[in-house]
Amino acid sequence: MQTILNYIDGELREPNAGEWLDSIEPATATPYARVPDSDNSDVAAAVDAAKRAFPSWSRTPAAERSRILLDIAARIDDQREALARAESIDNGKPISLARTVDVPRAAANFRFFATAILHTESESHRTDDVAINYTLRQPRGVAGLISPWNLPLYLFTWKVAPALATGNTAVAKPSEVTPMTAYLLSEICRDAGLPPGVLNVVHGLGPKVGEAMTLHPDVPTLSFTGGTATGARIGQNAAPLFKKLSLELGGKNPNLVFADADLDDAIETSIRSSFANQGQICLCGSRILVERPIYAEFVRRLVEGANALRIGDPLDDDTGFGALVSAPQLDKVKQYVDIAREEGATIECGGDAPTSLPDRVKSGYFFRPTVISGLGPTSRVNQEEIFGPVVTVAPFDREDEAIDIANSTAYGLSSTVWTQNLSRAHRVADRLAAGTVWVNTWMLRDLRVPFGGTRQSGVGREGGEEALRFFTEPKNVCIQYPLSDS
């Protein structure tokens, strides 16, 4: 059994109260590590360390901050295999996915923000011949960073990298469900010479550690990715304390396939956008709307593709589809499939656990890729985020109808449109309620673009310039011109 430790003031430490939680490997349903069950006092120590580190780190030249963060990126690359293995054990995802997506993207996050701070521009505004204004963008102090379990290292570094690059110090909490890669990152940061207190990682439960962070008066900035209900709770805590808030929440993303789409491409990508990471990516397209002339063929081939996914031990290089992250998540998925059945839906494929699994993972949290048809847009299965390997398919006849259905949930994170008609692509993209619209692709990411959602998918944007601005406070300096001697 491995032991995961907090990272506070540059040291790896046990939790103050000596309490621990079990970390479960989802593929085997057995504990593989113990993780600190930290409390208020650990959070207080982490915030104190971050406060002490702030004056020096915020004044450290950008080039030096950049050098350290680039060193961290290089070490993530060097340790790719160990990190990918840890993430696969922690999360249940296929190791091939962790190796090709999660870990390289975590390094890319550090590299992107480490270099971005070397190229920022600052604004100045001249007020006629009366005054000149210039805007300073200053780090805000201690940032509180809270991340979820689905892309543990990627989403954790997506917050840590811009916070530190811009000169903030941070207290970060990974999900208690998947703590291992954040722990390994702590070691990497220490070895890279990140000064003590610049990054502090406190492990533990949301209602204890997360809550203490959101209520701490000396954490003026909060960046959160996770469930919508948790986001609402954090908003309630943060508002009276006037904290600056970024909330990246859930999605119920539509995937619109028009009859003129490149069908091979649309089907291949839709299999990925439905079932990558067992459907546990906030950007997964969970409602597939297909124009009627191609509906039957699309569903047949989607089902074929879903059935062909190789379910198995996440640590096996050939596995394409792993375990769900936890027992509660598996139960949630089953409940929604039960609801679909009660509503008279047709389960086109999946709908239950796989029957033949390798011995090592026989007791894991597995559920087959599931395609459901026959449900109307108002069904709970089409309205609520399931966050698992379950997609619905439905035909549509008109573009307007497809857009109305696409926009009919409370969410607005991302959408995908498949068409060869350029006018339609622009027209539909313009009308979809979403922070990101992908046309003829999915999850293609450019770290410079704003990322986030509308409605119940969140508040604020991350990525690129948006993140640099979020983690800094603008200050205008207005100097009157002494243009004449009078």
Q: Which residues bind ligand TXE (CB under 6 A)?
A: 146-150, 173, 175-177, 206-207, 210-211, 214, 225-227, 230, 233-234, 248-250, 282, 385, 387
Nearer to ligand TXE, 175 or 270 (CB): 175
d(CA 164, CA 76): 16
Q: How many helices (H) and strands (E) does the chain have?
A: 16, 21
User: Minimum distance between the CB of residue 160 and ligand TXE, rounded to whole angstroms?
Assistant: 14
Can you state the percent helix, strand and coil of the chain, rounding each to 5? Answer: 40, 20, 35
- Asked if residues 182 and 313 have their Cβ atoms less than 8 Å apart, the reply is no
Q: Write down the residue that tokens 């191609």 correspond to.
A: 294
Q: How many CA atoms lie within 13 A of 166 on its CB side?
A: 27
Torsion angle (degrees, nearest 10) of CA 89, 93, 96, 98 = -80
Kindly provide the residue ranges of all beta strands, DSSP E only, lying in 355-471, ordered along the sequence. 370-373, 390-396, 414-418, 436-439, 458-459
Nearer to ligand TXE, 10 or 210 (CB): 210
DSSP summary character for residue 240 = G
Nearer to ligand TXE, 284 or 299 (CB): 284
Nearer to ligand TXE, 49 or 282 (CB): 282
Nearer to ligand TXE, 192 or 432 (CB): 432
Q: Are strands 244-248 and 458-459 parallel, antiparallel or unpaired?
A: antiparallel
**Beta carbons within 8 Å of 300's beta carbon, 6+ residues apart:** none
Nearer to ligand TXE, 456 or 472 (CB): 456
Nearer to ligand TXE, 84 or 209 (CB): 209
Kindly provide the residue ranges of all beta strands, DSSP E only, lying in 72-167, ordered along the sequence. 124-127, 131-139, 142-146
User: Minimum distance between the CB of residue 317 and ligand TXE, rounded to whole angstroms?
Assistant: 26
Nearest to 392, CA basis, from 266, 290, 293:
290
User: Minimum distance between the CB of residue 471 and ligand TXE, rounded to whole angstroms?
Assistant: 19
Query: What amino acid is encoded at 248 in this protein?
Result: E
Phi, psi of 186 (to 5 degrees): -55, -45
Per the annotation, the verdict on 248 as an active-site residue is: yes
Task: Spot the catalytic one: 25, 189, 282, 385.
Answer: 282
Query: What amino acid is encoded at 117 in this protein?
Result: I
User: Minimum distance between the CB of residue 266 and ligand TXE, rounded to whole angstroms?
Assistant: 24
User: Minimum distance between the CB of residue 39 and ligand TXE, rounded to whole angstroms?
Assistant: 14
Per the annotation, the verdict on 282 as an active-site residue is: yes
Task: Spot the catalytic one: 87, 248, 384, 385.
Answer: 248
Nearest to 151, CA basis, from 103, 204, 202:
103
User: Minimum distance between the CB of residue 461 and ligand TXE, rounded to whole angstroms?
Assistant: 14
Q: How many CA atoms lie within 13 A of 100 on its CB side?
A: 9
Structure tokens at 355: 């029957």
User: Minimum distance between the CB of residue 243 and ligand TXE, rounded to whole angstroms?
Assistant: 12
Catalytic residue numbers read: 248, 282
